[in-house]
Amino acid sequence: MTNTMKKIGVLTSGGDSPGMNACIRAVVRTGIYHGLEVYGIRSGYNGLINNDFIKLDSHHVSNIIQRGGTILKTARSKEFITKSGREKAYQNLKEHGLDGLVVIGGNGTFTGADIFIREFDFPIIGAPGTIDNDLYGTDATIGYDTALNTVMEAVDKIRDTASSHDRLFFVEVMGRDAGFIALRSGIAGGAEDILIPETETHIDELIAILEKGFRRNKKSSIIIVSEGDDAGGAFEVAAKVKEKYNHYDTRVTVLGHIQRGGSPSSFDRILASTLGYEAVNALLEGRRGEMVGQINKEVVFTPFEKSIKHNKDIRHDLLEMARILAT
């Protein structure tokens, strides 16, 4: 390792996700192990702009591996989108003498980092932290597994009451632009159908599935709706179905932000620890402008511009499988 770095920073940005704290811990402790000073920057890129830096020692990250959210707080910075905001951020980084940065976040975070590197040639490595799993270059993002388990448990509970009352439930899950949470939680929860933004939703097809179930005496059903589905959110889809097909007593549940909270699963803790550790090693090796991810258990690096938005394919065959298994 050609270690010329003395000080690095770490921040979390965008929507929080379970496992971000485990990743912060890994960055801090790996940095200290290599003799670096590590600074935490609060509230994402806003902290860079507002000079909100705090020196982190090993004890600052004790007892956080199991905690959801992020001890550094997070934000979607509007100011960092502006050139003057990024200039302020760069001045503050220089003032503190930082030589590199680890950013933990999703699409918006890496888009900002990519622009910043091009403008100021500053070394940044990204760790994928989002429940949405919509980043290319990693099988899973930090927080996705925990969110899936949260949704699955909620769906199990809804199924109890759905079957007791013979009801049809539309359950809305997060994922503005991506259906990963909907698809996998739908399979795990045995949903009768799953609606995702990546495929066109036909209300008539959905009704045909419900009708088939109804005819073979299926008394209750659960439809998972991704919040970004082209047919609308769960309330809208339920209304569209009800207009044409009224055989079921219908209810809607929007799971919302409970999907973002909670103690990270063991999978997320291990992934976050690995990627935080590898992010610091990458900075020390002179890498920059890349997201560190894991594919088939191997650590891989992907340039930011490749990792962001809409590049990761959803497994359409799994949708088909889910339908077959639910009928």
Q: Own/partner pairs for 316-320, CB < 8 Å, 24+ apart?
A: 316/198, 316/199, 318/183, 318/184, 318/187, 319/183, 319/194, 319/196, 319/199
Q: In sequence order, what are the residues at sequence separation of 6 or more whose Cβ sits closer than 8 angstroms to the Cβ of residue 62?
A: none
Residues forming the site for ligand F6P (CB under 6 A): 15, 106, 130-132, 174-176, 227, 260
CA distance 1 to 7: 16
* Of residues 74 and 294, the one with the C-beta less far from ligand F6P: 74
SS3 at position 40: strand
Q: Which of 230, 140, 221, 238 is nearest to 181 (CA)?
A: 140
* Of residues 172 and 193, the one with the C-beta less far from ligand F6P: 172
Residues facing residue 221 across a β-bridge: 168
**Residue indicated by tokens 């560190």:** 292
**Min. distance of Cβ 52 from ligand F6P in angstroms?**
20
Q: Decide if 132 is catalytic.
A: yes
* Of residues 5 and 22, the one with the C-beta less far from ligand F6P: 22
User: And the tokens for 248?
Assistant: 């079921």
**Residue indicated by tokens 């760069």:** 90
Q: Which amino acid is at 222?
A: I
**Min. distance of Cβ 114 from ligand F6P in angstroms?**
18
* Of residues 149 and 220, the one with the C-beta less far from ligand F6P: 149
**Min. distance of Cβ 209 from ligand F6P in angstroms?**
25
Contact 210, 176 (CB under 8 A): no
* Of residues 138 and 220, the one with the C-beta less far from ligand F6P: 138
The length of the chain, given as a count of residues: 327
* Of residues 92 and 259, the one with the C-beta less far from ligand F6P: 259
Q: Of these residues, 16, 114, 132, 193, which one is catalytic?
A: 132
* Of residues 37 and 145, the one with the C-beta less far from ligand F6P: 145
In this structure, the strands spanning 37-41 and 53-56 are antiparallel
Contact 252, 241 (CB under 8 A): no
**Min. distance of Cβ 132 from ligand F6P in angstroms?**
5
Contact 132, 178 (CB under 8 A): yes
Burial class (CB in 10 A: 0-12, 13-18, 19+), 217: exposed
Give me the half-sphere count of Cα atoms (radius 13 Å) on the Cβ side of residue 312: 22
Just list the catalytic residues. 132
